[in-house]
Structure 1
């Protein structure tokens, strides 16, 4: 990976900060240098060391790679064929050692991380530790105070034992600053704003050093309720403050989320509620790298996606690790491949918007397609309110959740991102495939040409069973008569959440209904249809289910309106809709009934038959047959 020639390298003198205290002690401060030179040596029979030099653009410093660092540099040199002289690395574990024999200092590197390649030669001089570290040594300055007497002017008098010492610190975390000893005569100096600010900076610096010295945890090894972990990652997405309804109190509160990317390009969602929102919302910035500590790790049991819920006691500090990637890894699947996946699978998608179904602040629903098939996409929540959807636009999604239920669809989740990158190869390939095509007709089934009778539908189902294609969902158009509608148990109390729609359970003692999934209660929920019907034609009949929207279209009234009617009026409504020939779109799925795989039919759409159009098509077919017959007689 090439990096820009202006990429910041650390200064050699940072290796020797507080040399007296840190000599021969393991360091974990992350510093970046370019390498120069590669000389392999053996210590004993097994241990190998690599001699090289660290370069900051101005100075060079000898270094030794040992253990894991030596093995890794050999892999880059011999297997990945990367020129060591162009490598930029970040030190992870290292120490300063003094070689008595050579009377010189060297840097011993135990672990490092490869950042990239930086071409070009650098003319550097050898760093002189003794000369350059003089300015870093702590100085003790004695300030002598003396009495002055002048009859014309008034001066403060000092006693001879008021001589005090002042420590002057030259440290990397703060410049041109003074830390005053507690034994200073005027204690009020310690309370001035400058010293308070410096004290806070020093505490933050110490805290960051302690975090860096702990072993960092990768997202891939995190697990639910993990206690001790330190995560370092880049915030690649930060949301606005969003509303949510608390399940226990049914109160509206606010939260925001971030998506964190680590060095392995794994992502995890971070959630901040109430007090954590107040503490961190104005502090965290998208694009920056932070170390995170103290949060509750959770995991979705269905698909394994992880999340961290932070609180007001979480520790988050900015990091200078420039090696963390800025974009997540994308693993695209075609829409046809997605249709065969398990329910709640997480997928990355490149597709074209063909049709916009709903465009509101709470939900954006639209149909997308690629080179293989079509699917419905639903983006839930106010976070997508400002997205302007355009027909024909190519969309790149990271982390959509696949719902493999009665209606297959892709839905947004906490980890969902919309990637703005039209230089991806998948985007270019889709653009090339689209060239010259009519978006309105691509992948859309032709209802007239695909209409079959129930006997043909039965043959189609047997073919799918024989080919073992029982995991996929198919659609067919049929003509048929609805000869029976179930008059009882044909509706249910529906959860008010747009993302749930589950059946609510009645609680007579409290005169209310409760959703087991959302844990919400509602004394007067909306009812939804679930009609079980029998469809017949001249060949055979099938059992099917019609859900709410299509049932309202068939009956002409809602479930709540039907529920308010008398039993006799309800029966008259059902009788009036029986034995009417309709054109229906049927969804075909398979389920296991007591060890037997059987088809299940759901009616997705119902339309009245245009007999005039059918007659016109029949006459055209007869004319074509007549022309073919005459042609055959002539030939």
Structure 2
């Protein structure tokens, strides 16, 4: 049995380097809880390092792993990709896990009497950590005065009130640079109140006011979960020191939605300060604001020269290899290609709209940028336009692509020097540039888009085997073009849970119902899901590919439930499968090493497939012929 990383949690939250990169630690699971919206659940687990325990939240790829690998209490997992978070307002330590591997199953029960809650220990002893947020607590605790008697407290409060009254009678004057703590305020209902820089906002500051421009305003959105339903919207406030996100809910959202206009400048105070949520924000500020009924927002109509219009932190496309996948970035490029919008369905059955836009910059590099939902449907900019994507993340599967995150937004032809320079370069030189395309590697879509990269980068089956693709820890992706020679009619699907957010296998009961042990529900009928095996060959070799539900649906054109009905009605599935034999497709393949009974072998699964573009094939062959004469 694999060993857990003794005091690994303690190391993550006390060592700044490990806090910023909490990977390659082994932890044992002793509790699993599903939270959030049933249509888009979150998985909260409790993990143990032999001495301490704390909460961990599964997100991104780890949610897929959870549904596929049937994670159980007692299993030991290794964190491959994740992020540590300190919720200082609630005094919580949380590990956000984006990807993991299961290194051992069915471990012994944990003796919780000998384990201590990590956050309880660290928040009582913050001086033991060199993580900045905990060190701040240590500093504030060290500077806190000793408890006072009631009479002393009353005297001190009176003195503070007198000091505040004196300060309010004297305007705050400041002649320093824009990044200082306070700026001169013109008379208004917020007259003579100190103006704080956005970068200084934290829960440790109570009396603050910011003067900031609304750099982004979202649409009003509706939400619903087990607790009820409501609406929300968010804005980004910008000053010369940075940006901070603000959110408002329900009745307050209606009030502030009408009041706040993108591009205008406001005084804001008395908003609730809380830790930021990186999954929903593209800003670097560690905190965000919540506008409630006690918040004060006033329009600023004068002295707006020192508030910038927009703030970009643009990363050149040739520098994307150096970007951390967990970080949010801004990019700028010339639109080269606008793909049609298409539907994408997740494994939970939820449907999204998506569009891919290829952009390139003056480094000679181009990349696919994924847009989602409303921005994807409404995108109408022509090729050749300058586009800034503010708030996107890098997706890395043996290649690069970009994806807009919730809260990110697009700016066309911005009036900044960098945009003018890029447009000038493109008009003079860029139109003739042959860009290096950092192809999209995801393969999550069920249709539409170009997910098979450049033909010149395609591999033969023999090449994939000779290069031992699949031996890396996380597996490897590659593209092939091949013909289907056989489709296995046996075990083409499994009976799955009918709940929309569950894909676990169900077991038929004596009464004819089908039971899901995960959901603890008996269903009248199962929902069959594909695990279809097909044989594919090219001019060099042959492999077996597994097609899961989305890809098999895409190939066969019917659901696993429909195919199962055909089988039960006595139809020969081989006749149905014959029409797909010897047809040629592009396949996006994932190779991964599988260990069973101390034997290892490479398993191949299909993450996407599509018909061969013969025009592109002819163009590729033409390029090869021309290059042979040069």
**TM-score, reference length from structure 1:** 0.50
Q: Deviations over 1:217-264 (max 9, x none)?
A: 644764xx778473625233343642323122564x433221111332
* Higher Cα radius of gyration: 1
Residues 341 and 376 of structure 2 are in contact (CA less than 8 Å); yes or no, is this contact kept in structure 1?
A: no
From 233, 237, 241, give the equivalent of 1:260: 237
- The corresponding residue for 1:630 is none
CA contact (8 A) 2:392 2:404 kept: yes
Q: Deviation at 1:487? A: 2.8
The match for 1:156 is none
| Corresponding residue to 1:329 among 305, 309, 312 | 312
Q: Report matched runs for 1:41-440 at 5 Å.
A: 205=189, 208-209=190-191, 212-213=193-194, 216=196, 218-219=198-199, 222=202, 228=206, 230=208, 232-239=210-217, 241-248=219-226, 251=229, 253-264=230-241, 266-287=242-263, 288-300=265-277, 307-318=288-299, 322-334=305-317, 337-338=319-320, 343-351=325-333, 352-358=335-341, 363-370=353-360, 375-382=367-374, 386-404=378-396, 409-419=401-411, 420-421=413-414, 423-424=417-418, 425-436=421-432
**Which SS does the other structure have where 1:357 is aligned?**
coil
Q: Which stretch has the larger CA shift, 538-547 or 549-558?
A: 538-547
The count of aligned residue pairs is 419
How far residue 290 of structure 1 moved from its aligned partner, in angstroms, is: 2.2
Distance 1:376 1:296, change over 3 A: same
When structure 1 is superposed on structure 2, of 576-585 and 453-462 the one drifting more is 576-585
| 1:47 aligned residue | none
Residue in structure 2 matched with residue 18 of structure 1 by the alignment? none
Aligned match of 2:130: none
**What residue number does 2:89 align with?**
none
Q: 3-state SS of the aligned residue for 1:580?
A: coil
- Which of residues 598, 602, 605 in structure 1 aligns to 2:606? 602
User: What secondary structure does 1:421 align onto?
Assistant: coil
Query: Structure 1 CA distance, aligned partners of 2:486 and 2:198?
Result: 61
**Is the CA contact (8 Å cut-off) linking 1:590 and 1:598 kept in structure 2?**
yes
Q: How far is the alpha carbon of 1:565 from its aligned partner? A: 3.7
Across the aligned residues of Structure 1 and Structure 2, the Cα RMSD in angstroms comes to 5.7
Given that residues 484 and 581 in structure 2 are in contact (C-alpha distance below 8 angstroms), is that contact kept between their aligned partners in structure 1?
yes
Check 1:391–1:426 CA distance in 2 against 1; reply closer, same or farther (3 A cut). Answer: closer
Unaligned runs of 5+ in 1: 1-20, 33-68, 73-88, 94-110, 116-171, 174-203, 497-501, 517-521, 628-635
Compared with structure 1, are the counterparts of its residues 258 and 570 closer, same or farther at alpha carbon in structure 2 (3 Å cutoff)? farther
Aligned to 1:580: 582
**Greater relative contact order (CA < 8 Å, ≥ 6 in sequence):** 2
Between the aligned partners of 2:315 and 2:266, the Cα distance in structure 1 is 26
Closer, same or farther in 2 for the Cα pair 1:293/1:373, shift >3 Å? Answer: same
| Structure 1 residue aligned with 2:443 | none
C-alpha contact 2:535 2:543 (8 A) present in aligned 1 = yes
Q: CA deviation at 1:365?
A: 0.5
Kindly state the Cα deviation for residue 395 of structure 1 after the two structures are TM-superposed. 1.7
- Cα drift, residue 398 of structure 1: 0.7
| Aligned equivalent of 1:551 | 552
Aligned to 2:482: 479
Asked if structure 1 preserves the Cα contact closer than 8 Å seen for 2:268 and 2:298, the reply is yes
Contact kept in structure 2, 1:90 and 1:112, CA below 8 Å:
yes
TM norm structure 2: 0.51
Residues 440-471 of structure 1, C-alpha deviation per residue, up to 9 Å, x if partnerless? 99989897655543112223456x98xx9x88
When residues 413 and 578 of structure 1 are mapped into structure 2, their CA distance, relative to the original with a 3 A threshold, is closer
1:115-168 deviation per Cα after TM superposition (whole angstroms, max 9, x unaligned): 9xxxxxxxxxxxxxxxxxxxxxxxxxxxxxxxxxxxxxxxxxxxxxxxxxxxxx
Does the 8 Å contact 1:512/1:524 carry over to 2? no
Per the alignment, in what secondary structure is the counterpart of residue 332 of structure 1?
A: coil
Over 3 Å counting, the alpha-carbon distance change for 1:584 and 1:272 in structure 2 is same
| Greater mean alpha carbon deviation, residues 471-480 or residues 556-565 | 471-480
8 Å contact from structure 1 (residues 491, 529) kept in 2: no
Q: Which runs of 5+ in 2 are unaligned?
A: 1-162, 344-350, 440-449
Q: 1:540 deviation in Å?
A: 4.1
User: Do the aligned partners of residues 372 and 483 (structure 1) sit closer, same or farther apart at CA in structure 2, a change above 3 Å counting?
Assistant: farther
Following superposition, the deviation at residue 396 of structure 1 comes to 1.1
Alpha carbons of structure 1 residues 367 and 318: separation in structure 2 relative to 1, 3 Å: closer
Shift, 1:273, TM fit? 1.8
Residue 458 of structure 1 corresponds to which residue in structure 2?
Answer: 465
